[in-house]
Amino acid sequence: MERFINLKGEDIPKQWYNVKADLPFELDPPLDPQTMKPIDPSKLEVLFPKALVMQEATKEREISIPPRVREAYALYRPTPLVRAIGLERALKTPAHIYYKNESVSPTGSHKLNTALAQAYYNLEEGTTKISTETGAGQWGSALAFAGAYFNLDVNVFMVKISFEQKPARKYMVNLFNGKIHPSPSDFTNYGKKVLEVTPNSTGSLGMAISEAIEYALSKEKTHYSLGSVLDHVLLHQTVIGQETKKQMELAGEEPDVLIGCFGGGSNFGGFTLPFMPLKLKKNSLEIVACEPTECPSFTKGEYKYDYGDTAHLTPMLKMYTLGSEFVPPPIYAGGLRYHGASPIISRLVKEGYMKAIAIPQEEAFEAARLFSVTEGIIPAPETSHAIAGVVRYAKACAESGERKVIVFNFSGHGLLDLNSYVK
Amino acid sequence: MERFINLKGEDIPKQWYNVKADLPFELDPPLDPQTMKPIDPSKLEVLFPKALVMQEATKEREISIPPRVREAYALYRPTPLVRAIGLERALKTPAHIYYKNESVSPTGSHKLNTALAQAYYNLEEGTTKISTETGAGQWGSALAFAGAYFNLDVNVFMVKISFEQKPARKYMVNLFNGKIHPSPSDFTNYGKKVLEVTPNSTGSLGMAISEAIEYALSKEKTHYSLGSVLDHVLLHQTVIGQETKKQMELAGEEPDVLIGCFGGGSNFGGFTLPFMPLKLKKNSLEIVACEPTECPSFTKGEYKYDYGDTAHLTPMLKMYTLGSEFVPPPIYAGGLRYHGASPIISRLVKEGYMKAIAIPQEEAFEAARLFSVTEGIIPAPETSHAIAGVVRYAKACAESGERKVIVFNFSGHGLLDLNSYVK
């Protein structure tokens, strides 16, 4: 039994996988909030490069990964698939547990898979600056690295409570020459307005998105970049699931349960969507999103059209949502703070192809401690929700005696979040 | 050309390699400071388990790795050998650069290779508590993890200036249920005495060693554990060099230059000693230790018998030393702060088999930034000295046109040291 299932450089996918080619239904389009009609793609081009707007809409099954992006991926890809022998032993479970280790990327999470792609397309179309928001900081530091790699200026608006709790993220963004502002900030009109009304606001992802969009719209040759939720972001992340499929074949096993943590849906979608053709053939395959009890978009939200941000600058998306004004309780320290959810994953949950469970913060932290000592990797607080889900399934197998194959996405490490675990 | 050269689980070494079997000279023995005669091994047994005292003295070429230690190694070993394609490109060098990535270990550095072995032998012989010192924190957190893994209590004395600069190390040690004290502390008589004389002391590794030894000697079933310098520590680290040799064979190349950073000698020795048989056959192989200009044991020190600690509780070792009272200047932020050097490496440098160069902090930090952006891994400040050495050699190749094969040990990542780079 091999612990590390490694691929070769040539196994880095040459295409991103577009699940829309295989879905048995049509997705509801994004709406223009002024007309409530499907949005004209050209309206999105003030925010994103044309190539990404096209990727957002296309139904082509395979989208070629540009050679320079694949070359950048080769810095850290293929990432290992790891058999969680230590965790299995600790749980005395007959289940076989595997994790795809996306934490080996330069910034410690899967986020770089789309950051590099987005930076590349922006560079190609003449952009010189990108702005974005970040929650726990994984996305902001990934975009900063991608900016350093492709020579673009990066401005990051970071949810204020996380900015204060995680100074190391700031250092990392600065090391890659990026600029970072706690949000709400007095750097944008929207931020100023929020601060007038609630000077002690701890921020939310919706607010930070609003600031980053305002910044992009107000500067020359500046685009906005989103780290999750949108279809093109999930598309870029499918390198995760494609590699995992190949690695499971090498391991000689087929997954019974796929598990990921869920914030906006990018690690979850990137990991699970390439398995949708298998799911359509084999209905017993369970695909499980683990969201925080403190930000329960699926388990407590409503499936409807809603805004992606608090200032209502974005198109309306059909998704599970807690309402664009939602702010998680201050006690919640993790990065899974988004009020909504990827429209693709929302629909798949709605139709019953995937399911969602809510994990209380305390259970996630306990799982993280167990995983740290038994597997030797400290997970990001986000990732620990997936691990808690895995622990639930593996314990159920220990009780029933079932030898299920559980595979999860280890989306990021927690080395820059160690203080969260102490508090 | 493959970027990642990975081994299988079965390739984890089954023996540690003891270079003493192959050295063309006899090493000078440790002396008892009271008699100035070779120390009676039984005197060391108040500090260390018998198995380690034996390993310190033996000349057997191969020492079997106990199955439980090898099982623990399997959490993160074999570690990858990586072709530094990004760095080569940035330096426009014809040299081929490879690095052994020891930063993938649970605590982010090579230190765990000996921590697990030491914790295991202590457990076997009935120890329940271990004390130790740590400089930058890599060693302390490694021993804490090993303690958590093998169920031992761990007390770490951390050089005060590093303790204050690197709070994340404290969080990590605590996550693994270890206890950590800034040194000099009022937790030992020696620490109290230092604080009386110099209340603002920023500490030194020598002081922290004195405190950890006093602690071990004053408690029941408590041993002391050292993370570098001693022969048995270097012995455990030879898993690094043994794997690297195999990986270079897979890459189809033979090294012309081996480079490592140097503090006490454990990562450097573990990486280079398994290549000594090659060095004895092929004299053109260069083996280069990179030490900080701010703590220049080889390049400014004297080769003589000296104490290992400031309180003079340890045996005297024949080594390059700056004197046991040496404290690096406060501006120096790295972990390579030890006044002395491994006796084995000292002798090999003295005899001309290895050489040492001094790297100024600024040059190390510049190399770290370059490496972070081109290779996508942020090095520990310690490791960045090795990278600076590599950059010097690779640039020389760019000028001369030589296509040397340069291999270095990436001893640890800097994710818990990000603030060092900002200051």
Task: Specify the pairing of strand A302-307 against strand A316-321.
Answer: antiparallel
Q: Are A76 and B376 inside 8 Å of each other by CB? A: yes
Give the whole-angstrom CA distance, residue B337 versus residue B330: 11
Q: What is the pLDDT of residue B423?
A: 63
Contacts of A39 (CB under 8 A, 6+ apart): A29, A30, A31, A32, A315
Out of B108, B149, B373, closest to residue A149 by CB: B373
- H or E stretch covering B407: strand B405-410
CA distances (Å), origin B233, targets A2, B205, B238 = 28, 17, 9
Query: Tens digit of pLDDT for each residue in A366-403?
Result: 999 999 999 999 999 999 999 999 999 999 999 999 99
pLDDT above 90 (res B335): no
Q: B94, B311, B39, B296: which is closest to B197 by C-alpha? A: B311
Q: B314, B305, B310: which is closest to B327 by C-alpha? A: B310
Out of B167, B369, B419, closest to residue A171 by CB: B419
pLDDT above 80 (res A335): no
According to DSSP, the residues that pair with A4 across neighbouring strands are A82
**B372 part of contact set with chain A, CB < 8 Å:** yes
Q: What is the pLDDT of residue B182?
A: 97
Contacting residues of A for B172, CB less than 8 Å apart: 378, 418
Distance from CA of A256 to the nearest CA of B (A): 24
Q: How many CB atoms lie within 10 A of CB A361?
A: 20
- Please give the average per-residue pLDDT across B233-251, as a whole number: 98
Q: B325, B112, B149, B121: which is closest to B224 by C-alpha? A: B121
pLDDT band of residue A329 (cuts 50, 70, 90) is confident
Out of A3, A175, A378, closest to residue B418 by CB: A175
Q: Are B175 and A418 inside 8 Å of each other by CB? A: yes
Q: A44, A21, A24: which is closest to A32 by C-alpha? A: A44
Q: Which pair of tokens denotes residue B62? A: 């191969």
**A4 part of contact set with chain B, CB < 8 Å:** yes
pLDDT > 90: percent of chain A: 88
The mean-pLDDT minimum among A33-37, A317-321, B286-290, B410-414 falls in A33-37
One-letter identity of residue B147: G
**B2 part of contact set with chain A, CB < 8 Å:** yes
- Please give the average per-residue pLDDT across B230-245, as a whole number: 98
Is the Cβ–Cβ distance between A96 and A253 less than 8 Å? yes
**Long-range contacts of range B368-372, CB-CB < 8 Å, 24 or more positions apart?**
B368/B414, B368/B421, B369/A175, B369/B421, B370/B87, B370/B90, B371/B87, B372/A106, B372/A175, B372/A176
- The string over B115-151, giving b where at least 16 C-beta atoms fall within 10 Å of a residue's C-beta and e elsewhere, is bbbbbbbbbeeebebbbbbbbbbbbbbbbbbbbbbbe
Contact residues, B window 375-394, toward A, CB-based 8 Å cutoff: 375-378
Mean pLDDT value across chain B: 95
What count of Cα atoms within 13 Å lies in the side-chain half-sphere of residue B113?
Answer: 33
Query: Tens digit of pLDDT for each residue in A214-223?
Result: 999 999 999 9
Contacting residues of B for A415, CB less than 8 Å apart: 108, 168, 415-416
Query: Tens digit of pLDDT for each residue in A250-274?
Result: 999 999 999 999 999 999 999 999 9
Q: A265, A408, A294, A279: which is closest to A351 by C-alpha? A: A279
Chain B residue at shortest CA distance from A87: B75
Q: Which pair of tokens denotes residue A264? A: 């906006």
Query: Tens digit of pLDDT for each residue in B151-209?
Result: 999 999 999 988 998 889 999 999 999 999 999 999 999 999 999 999 999 888 889 99
Q: Are B171 and A418 inside 8 Å of each other by CB? A: yes
- Please give the average per-residue pLDDT across A300-317, as a whole number: 91
Find where tokens 């793609």 sit: A41
Contact residues, A window 99-158, toward B, CB-based 8 Å cutoff: 104-106, 108, 145, 148-149
Find the DSSP H helices in B96-150: 112-124, 138-150
Q: List strand residue ranges (DSSP E) for A268-310, in order.
A: 286-292, 302-307
Contacts of B319 (CB under 8 A, 6+ apart): B229, B297, B303, B304, B306, B340, B341, B342, B343, B346
Query: Tens digit of pLDDT for each residue in A77-117?
Result: 999 999 999 999 999 999 999 999 999 999 999 999 999 99
Give the whole-angstrom CA distance, residue B228 versus residue A89: 32
Give the whole-angstrom CA distance, residue A108 versus residue A368: 16
Chain B residue at shortest CA distance from A85: B75
Query: Tens digit of pLDDT for each residue in B344-383?
Result: 999 999 999 999 999 999 999 999 999 999 999 999 999 9
Give the whole-angstrom CA distance, residue B186 versus residue B194: 9
pLDDT above 90 (res B47): yes
Q: How many CB atoms lie within 10 A of CB A38?
A: 12
Give the whole-angstrom CA distance, residue A180 versus residue A2: 42
Task: Specify the pairing of strand B316-321 against strand B302-307.
Answer: antiparallel
pLDDT above 90 (res A245): yes
CA distances (Å), origin A29, targets A63, A233, A295, A346 = 20, 16, 25, 13
The mean-pLDDT minimum among A143-157, A161-175, B149-163 falls in A161-175
> Hey, is B81 helix, strand or coil?
strand
Please state the ipTM of this predicted complex. Answer: 0.93
Give the whole-angstrom CA distance, residue A327 versus residue A319: 17
Contacting residues of B for A85, CB less than 8 Å apart: 74
Out of B8, B86, B145, closest to residue A75 by CB: B86
Find where tokens 């959490």 sit: B75
Chain Cα centroid distance, residue B110: 7
Out of A2, A148, A375, closest to residue B8 by CB: A2
Length of chain A: 423
pLDDT above 90 (res A313): no
Is the Cβ–Cβ distance between A290 and A272 less than 8 Å? no
pLDDT > 70: percent of chain A: 100
Q: Are A376 and B176 inside 8 Å of each other by CB? A: no
pLDDT band of residue A282 (cuts 50, 70, 90) is very high
Give the whole-angstrom CA distance, residue B372 versus residue B414: 10
Give the whole-angstrom CA distance, residue A414 versus residue A382: 9
> Hey, is A201 helix, strand or coil?
coil
